[in-house]
Amino acid sequence: MPHHPLQRRDQGRLIGPLLLLALLFAGGCAAVNGPQDRPSLQPPPEAKRGVLPFPASRRQQALAPTVVSYPEYRDPLIWLNRGIFAFNDVSYRYLLIPLSRGYLWLTPEPVQDSIGNFFDNLKTPVLAVNHLLQWQPALLGRDLLRFGINTTVGLLGLFDPARDWGGLPRAPTDSAATLAGYGAGYGIYLVLPIFGPSDLRDSAGLVADHFLNPVVYLTDNPERTAIQGFDFFQDYAPTAENYETLRRKSEDPYIFFRNLHLQGVQRDARH
């Protein structure tokens, strides 16, 4: 995730990303490149790396990864990261996880899938721009074809006939993957408020993806914040309780989730 003076709506649009950028630069932008850390054990393939401390996809199953300690890591902001982790821990356990249970209980699974399909379709520009920057024309063409089919036949993306009937599954990617493809190292480890374990590269990618999301340009606050917040929540809810499962397995949850994230970084670097 940015000459005329900014209007009020533009100022509101920039507040969140600018705050995040301030945090990133405070963490030391000079560490973007550097030798990759070497884990003593590669994590299982289902241990997905992301901005959350567990998979944020309604289509994934619960995790039971084997996480080992890192002999090397870059966590110069550990004093700040631990504070944010503590805030997130309380937010997850006493707010988001209980809300997720209620959402899953009240919302039938087909409705959950349709909501997720709608947001996936809406965020097609995130995929298309990054597949273009990654020089993957076939996947770019698939993104555009999927958008056309799902927006029309799929009723504004509520259904996914491109996948179900056309054999065109979604090919996930993001700006962090693009940065990695151009040789950007992960920089330093960061914990983001609510989003959880991340790093400098992923956080910069998160800001870039924010500006590729059509919601930013189609709506104003507070509607924009509500829509993006619900998008995050509906994607988070199906696997919310993974956090408590993993947390119970660790003596120091902060170190556990840091190792899990950094192992994912190293795994992705090998592919």
DSSP string, 5-66: PPPHHHHHHHHHHHHHHHHHHHTTGGGSS-PPP--SSPPPTT---SSSSS---TTPPPP---
pLDDT tens per residue across span 72-91: 688 999 999 999 999 999 99
Question: Which residue is associated with the tokens 């799929």?
Answer: 154
Q: Quick one: tokens of 229?
A: 């917040």
Q: What is the pLDDT of residue 1?
A: 39
State yes or no: pLDDT of 267 exceeds 90. no
Give the residue-averaged pLDDT of 144-170. 96
In three-state secondary structure terms, 197 is strand
pLDDT band, residue 106 (cuts 50/70/90): very high
37 in a structural domain: no
The range of the structural domain enclosing residue 146 comes to: 75-269
* Residue 1 belongs to some domain of the structure: no
223 located within any domain = yes
pTM of the model: 0.74
Considering the domain boundaries, does residue 154 fall inside one?
A: yes
Q: Residue 68: what pLDDT?
A: 57
Q: Is residue 25 part of a domain?
A: no
In a domain, 18, yes or no: no
Distance, CA of 221 to CA of 64 (rounded, Å): 39
Mean pLDDT rounded to a whole number for the chain: 80
Tokens linked to 64? 């039971």
Residue with tokens 């089919």: 149
Total number of domains in the chain: 1
Q: How confident is the model at residue 214 (pLDDT cuts 50, 70, 90)?
A: very high
Q: Check whether 181 has a pLDDT greater than 60.
A: yes
Are 216 and 222 contacting, i.e. CB atoms less than 8 angstroms apart?
no
Domain annotation covers residue 39: no
Whether residue 53 has pLDDT greater than 60 = no
Closest Cα to residue 29, out of 180, 188, 175?
A: 188
